[in-house]
Amino acid sequence: MALSRKDLFTLAKTVAKANPSSQVAYSFGNEKFSYEDLNETLRNELREIAGTYSLYRENKNTIFALMEEIIDDVLPKKVLEQYGQFAEIKTFSQGDKPVFTQRITVASKRRAKQFITKVGLAGIYEVFKLDGKSYEVPTSAFGGAAQIGFEEFLDKRIDLADVLDIIMEGLDESLYLEIERALKGAVTNLQANNKTTQDSFVEAEMDKLLAVADSYGQATIYCTYEFAATMVPAEGWVSDAMKDQKWNNGYLASYKGHRVIVLPQSYEDETNSKKVIDPSYAWIIPTGGNDKPVKVALEGQTIVREIENADMSREIQVYKKMGVAAIITNNICVYRNTGLTQ
C-alpha cells in the first residue's frame, strides 16, 4: 500500500538529507537503514504514483510539490553549513520584506563607518553609508535546472538525490557568486590599512592585515584553494609537520595561529575554463566583533516546473528568490593576489 502524502514527503526529505557514504543513514528505534534502503523505498513509492507516463502525468504536481518542499527544507541548512561562519542567513515568507537589523557595538560606533552593498537594477551593485540599524535585502529569482527525465529515476539509472544535487549545486553557486560580488563591490570603501593588492603572496603584507583584523577579535582567513596554496613562509618551512600538511592537503590549514577556511570552487561550464569564484581574493574576518558581514535572504517558496524539449526529453527547472548584501566595517581586511586573477 502506498504511503500517505505526509509520509511520502517525510521519506523524501530524509533521503535528501541522508549521507550516501554513511553506513547508517537513518535510525528509527533499534532499526538502522542505509542510504540504499531509504532510496530504494522512495523509488518504490514513486513508482506507485508515477510508474507509467499516465500516472506521472496525473501526479506530476505532487512530485513537483515534493521537490519544492525538499529544496525549501534543505537549502537553508546547506547554505548555513557552507557560509554560516561569515554569513547570516534568514528565511522570509513570500511578500514579507527581507529586513535585517544590524547590531551596533560600542567599538563600531567609535571606530568604524559602516557601508552596505546590495544588488541594484541590471545587476549593478550600489554602495552607500549605513545610517540606520535595519535595512532591506532585495531578492530576485535564481534558477537551477536538470535535464533528466523522470523515467531515468524509475529505471534506477539515477537517484532523486542526484537530480536534487544538480539543482542545488546550481542554486548554491549562484548564491555564492552573489556573496562574492557583494564583498568585492564593497572593497573600495575599505580604508587603505585594511586592504592590499600584490602580484604574489607576500607574508609581511598578510601579517599587517591580520594585525588589523585581530584588534577586533581573532581573525579567520577565507579564500579558495588556489590562494591557500600560495600561503607559505617566506623564509622556508618552520617544521617537518608543516611540510607534511602542505604535501597532504595542498595548503596549510592554519597560518600563524589563524584558521584558513577554503571556500568551495567550481567552473561555470563543462570546459573548465572559467572559475565561478575569483581565486585572487582572501577575506580576513574577525570573530566576536560585529555581526556577520554577509546577509543572505531566502524568500518564499521554491517553484519547480517542467519543460518538454523537442526531442521529448524533459528539463526540470527550479526558481528560488534570494538576496545578498554585505556590511563592511573597519574590522574586515582583504588581500588580493593579482597573480591568481583569471
| Sign of the torsion angle spanned by Cα atoms 11, 12, 17, 19 | positive
User: For residue 127, what pLDDT is reported?
Assistant: 45
Average pLDDT across the chain, whole number: 78
Return the higher-pLDDT residue of 93 and 1: 93
Percent of the chain with pLDDT over 90: 12
pLDDT score recorded for residue 119: 44
Measured CA to CA, the distance from residue 319 to residue 67 in angstroms comes to: 12
Q: Where are the domains of the chain?
A: 73-340
pTM score, two decimals?
A: 0.72
User: What is the pLDDT at residue 156?
Assistant: 67
pLDDT of 175 = 81
pLDDT digits (tens, 9 = 90+) for 4-59: 889 888 888 888 887 777 777 777 667 788 888 888 888 888 888 877 778 878 88
> Please, what's the b/e burial string for 273-294 (b: 16 or more CB within 10 A of its CB; e: otherwise)?
eeebbbbbbbbbbbeebbbbbb
CATH placement of domain 73-340: 3.90.1690
- Lowest mean pLDDT: which of 33-42, 148-157, 184-193, 231-240? 148-157
| Residues 316 and 145: beta-carbon distance below 8 Å | yes
pLDDT tens for each residue of 237-282: 667 777 777 777 778 888 888 989 888 777 666 677 777 778 899 9
Share of the chain above pLDDT 70, in %: 79
Does residue 235 have a pLDDT over 80? no
pLDDT of residue 198: 96
Residue type, position 140, single letter = S
* Cell numbers found for residue 210: 591580520
- Report residue 200's pLDDT band, with 50, 70 and 90 as the boundaries: very high
